[in-house]
Amino acid sequence: MYLPKRHPVHAYKRRIAEATKHWPVFVGPVAVHIVAVLPIPKSWSKAKKAEALAVEYHAQKPDPDNIGKAILDALSEHWRDDCQVADLRVKKLWTNETEGFTLLEIWELT
């Protein structure tokens, strides 16, 4: 699939790669757990924002598989191949903050 050079996923992948540059290289199977915390759009009404926060889970785009793929691509320096990922979990949540963030946990499975 083609993504334009200015697509926001490229900046996201660069930020993930930069934040994890000192992480080790994993040699065996790994588990990757991701929590993507996404901001509520500013254009939403107060009622719609309150409804989203009450549900807590983000059930809109981006799709969780796209988030996972972007992160696995950004972490390519930390394993031989992303087929080493034997356990992948992606959770999407809302935040009332203006900026979102990503929590990432990786460990080798033994």
Task: Please indicate, yes or no, if residue 2 is contained in any of the structural domains.
Answer: no
pTM, two decimal places: 0.87
Task: Please indicate, yes or no, if residue 77 is contained in any of the structural domains.
Answer: yes
The mean pLDDT of 7-15, rounded to a whole number, is 85
Residue 15 domain boundaries: 8-108
> How many independent structural domains does the chain possess?
1
Task: Please indicate, yes or no, if residue 3 is contained in any of the structural domains.
Answer: no
* pLDDT tens digits for range 16-59: 999 999 999 999 999 999 999 999 999 999 999 999 999 999 99
User: Which CATH number goes with the domain that contains 76?
Assistant: 3.30.1330.70
Residue 103 CA to residue 106 CA, distance in Å, equals: 10
Task: Please indicate, yes or no, if residue 1 is contained in any of the structural domains.
Answer: no
Task: Please indicate, yes or no, if residue 61 is contained in any of the structural domains.
Answer: yes
